[in-house]
């Protein structure tokens, strides 16, 4: 039996991000079994049935199981955690702190009990704070618990750069660090179009506008949708991280990692470039940072620490 046939992936939460993540995992045949779990009876089962019926058309061999029973997740190799309340217009990611903190605590309990050797990718907002809480509740090594943020934020920046320059988005390399929120740090110094620095192609004013739009990227989509938030790109980003770990692709991806001295921070999660492979976070890459970017990183980590303190006040940490 091949390694792929033996694999098991659990997607927690059958909302739009979760159902799309399950679909992406199935279409890429990342595992023999993909479990989609949700507290709503019938929803994950119905989505699973629909996806399994698509297998004959799309040609994938993964089997999707929909469930409300945490026991069905036991023995999973990796979890993609999307469960929680999405943002509504006018809400900040931090507004979700208490309700989604309780969700993370409940999910961590069955992950720890039934899949003690698994990897965990958190997508739930407020991202950096939720992954910090997840890791605290699990007690897993930091390299096995990470958050999906920078992959999504960098993809948004890449799309805006592609639109502005007229270049194919495949030729754009962008890097966004820091917390997944309005204080994120788009690293224009490390953004290129087929090796050409962004500043050689786009004016200062246009770069500043793209940076601001990237920071507000999730809110822009929330405002347009009116009900709900982004799901295609967040799901794709989480699955890209899972694939890099399961297939030992060792991709360099910006994601929320536990810092132990890197970038001058200790014991806090925030978005940094990391190599993801069979051991999870194989290496955190420290980039030389201009003074302004360093100031912004201090600010973004400070905001995460404020949310972490709020979790303590709520009795969740």
Tell me the per-residue pLDDT of 161-178, one tens digit each, with 9 for 90 and over: 999 999 999 999 999 999
25-63 pLDDT, tens digit each: 999 999 999 999 999 999 999 999 999 999 999 999 999
Q: Please report the sign of the dihedral spanned by the C-alpha atoms of residue 81, residue 266, residue 308, residue 302.
A: negative
- Residue 4, pLDDT > 70, answer no
Burial class (CB in 10 A: 0-12, 13-18, 19+), 75: middle
- Domain 150-312 in CATH 3.90.110.10? The answer is yes
User: What is the reported pTM?
Assistant: 0.95
Q: Are strands 119-122 and 145-147 parallel, antiparallel or unpaired?
A: parallel
| 11-20, 179-188, 189-198, range with the lowest pLDDT | 179-188
Which stretches of 149-290 are DSSP H helices?
150-165, 204-215, 217-225, 232-246
With cut-offs at 50, 70 and 90, classify the pLDDT of residue 262.
very high
Give Cα 64 to chain centroid, integer Å. 21
- Token representation of residue 279: 């051991």
Residue 280: exposure state from Cβ atoms within 10 A (0-12, 13-18, ≥19): buried
Nearest Cα to Cα of residue 10 among 33, 41, 43, 39: 33
Q: For the ranges 75-89, 141-155, 235-249, 296-310, which has the lowest average pLDDT?
A: 75-89
DSSP code for 223: H
Catalytic center residues: 180
pLDDT score recorded for residue 211: 94
Chain centroid offset of residue 97 CA: 17
pLDDT band at 3 (very low <50, low <70, confident <90, very high): low
CA distance 234 to 222: 13
- The H or E element containing residue 11 is strand 8-12
Rounded to whole angstroms, how far apart are CA atoms 205 and 139?
Answer: 45
Q: Token digits for 39?
A: 């507290």
- Provide the percentage of residues in the chain whose pLDDT is more than 90: 89
- Residue 172 is inside which H or E element, if any? strand 172-173
Q: Is residue 156 very low, low, confident or very high in pLDDT (cuts 50, 70, 90)?
A: very high
Structure tokens, 110: 């069955």
Locus of tokens 């809480």: 133
* pLDDT of 283 strictly over 70: yes
> Residues 105, 137: contact at Cβ < 8 Å?
yes
Give the architecture-level CATH label for domain 3-147.
3-Layer(aba) Sandwich (3.40)
The domain segmentation of the chain, as residue ranges, is: 3-147, 150-312
Per-residue pLDDT averaged across 71-87, rounded? 94
Which three-class secondary structure state does DSSP give residue 170? helix
């Amino acid at each position: 039996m091949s390694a792929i046939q033996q694999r098991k992936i659990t997607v927690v939460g059958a909302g739009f991000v979760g159902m799309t993540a399950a679909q992406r995992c199935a279409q890429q045949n990342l595992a023999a079994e993909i479990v989609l779990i949700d507290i709503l009876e019938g929803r994950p089962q119905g989505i699973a049935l629909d996806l399994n019926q698509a297998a004959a058309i799309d040609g994938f061999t993964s089997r999707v199981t929909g469930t409300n029973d945490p026991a069905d997740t036991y023995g999973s190799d990796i979890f993609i955690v999307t469960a929680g309340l999405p943002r509504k217009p006018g809400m900040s990611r931090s507004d979700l702190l208490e309700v989604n903190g309780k969700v993370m605590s409940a999910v961590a309990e069955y992950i720890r009990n039934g899949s003690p050797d698994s990897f965990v990718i958190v997508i739930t907002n407020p991202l950096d704070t939720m992954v910090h809480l997840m890791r605290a509740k699990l007690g897993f090594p930091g390299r096995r618990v990470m958050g999906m943020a920078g992959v999504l934020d960098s993809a948004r920046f890449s799309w805006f750069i592609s639109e502005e320059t007229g270049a194919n988005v495949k030729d754009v390399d962008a890097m966004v660090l820091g917390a997944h929120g309005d204080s994120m740090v788009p690293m224009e110094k490390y953004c290129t179009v087929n090796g050409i620095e962004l500043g050689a192609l786009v004016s200062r004013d246009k770069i500043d506008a793209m940076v601001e739009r990237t920071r507000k990227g999730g809110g822009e989509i929330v405002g347009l949708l009116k009900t709900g938030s982004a799901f295609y790109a967040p799901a794709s980003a989480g699955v890209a991280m899972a694939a890099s770990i399961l297939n030992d692709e060792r991709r360099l991806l910006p994601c929320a990692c536990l810092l132990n001295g890197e970038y001058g921070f200790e014991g806090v999660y925030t978005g940094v470039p990391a190599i993801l492979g069979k051991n999870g976070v194989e290496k955190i890459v420290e980039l030389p940072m201009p003074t302004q970017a360093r100031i912004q990183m201090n600010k973004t980590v400070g905001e995460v620490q404020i949310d972490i303190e709020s979790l303590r006040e709520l009795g969740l940490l």
